[in-house]
Amino acid sequence: MSGLLPEIESKILEKWDSNPMLRPRITKVTVNVSINPDFERLKKIAGVLEEITGQKPSLRRAKRTIREFGVKRGDYIAAVVTLRGKRAVEFLKKALEAVGYRIKTSSFDEYGNVCFGIKEHIHIPGVKYDPEIGIFGMDVCITIERPGYRVMRRRRCKSTIPKRHRVTKLEAMVLLKNLFEVEIVE
């Protein structure tokens, strides 16, 4: 981890050990594949995505017309899968292997979320090329939270999460390094 000093990393780990409510965790992994409006190809891609992730994807429609891209409102243009728990971790191992366990610093946002892209789906281990479908890329987004974020989403007595309880960019880097031995590059 090039930009992170070992002393800062050890302080963060020490803080997590002192209070288990401060230790962040991977809440969900969202996988998104977007293509030009071609419903038959999108159905085939959704089948491959289901095979890779182990969960049925949701097909998404265009919200508005964009003439430059040939997209009309209501066309199917994407397939999305949201993974949680063990499935999320299993898929994340495959996805990180596809990118060589390297993530750019710019892929992390200020609240600890991480997004990276896989240029070709055939880089994921165990996936073979199918000439009917071709090659497609995908976006992988990791949502990292601390325990207690339910307060923000619950129906009754909703409240906000203070900044001191939000996950920082540095903490997300340390978490991914410790869980998956990810190398953070500039």
**What pLDDT does residue 169 have?**
92
Indicate the SS3 state at residue 143. strand
**What pLDDT does residue 56 have?**
94
From the list 64, 58, 55, the residue with the least C-alpha distance to 42 is 58
Domains of the chain: total: 1
Residue 186 included in any domain: no
Residue 135 included in any domain: yes
**What pLDDT does residue 186 have?**
84
Residue 148 included in any domain: yes
Q: Residue 145 pLDDT more than 70? A: yes
Residue 121 included in any domain: yes
**What pLDDT does residue 128 have?**
87
Q: What is the CATH number of the domain that holds 161?
A: 3.30.1440.10
Residue 55 included in any domain: yes
Which pTM value belongs to this model? 0.87
Residue 1 included in any domain: no
**What pLDDT does residue 4 have?**
65
**What pLDDT does residue 3 have?**
53
| Cβ-Cβ contacts under 8 Å for 180 (sequence gap 6 or more) | 92, 93, 96, 101
**What pLDDT does residue 114 have?**
94
Q: Residue 2 pLDDT more than 60? A: no
Over the stretch 105-120, which tens digit does the pLDDT of each residue have?
999 999 889 999 999 9
The average pLDDT across 171-184 equals 91
Over the stretch 76-89, which tens digit does the pLDDT of each residue have?
889 999 999 999 99
> Rg for the chain (alpha carbons), in Å?
19
The average pLDDT across 140-167 equals 92
- Residue 81: give the domain boundaries: 6-181
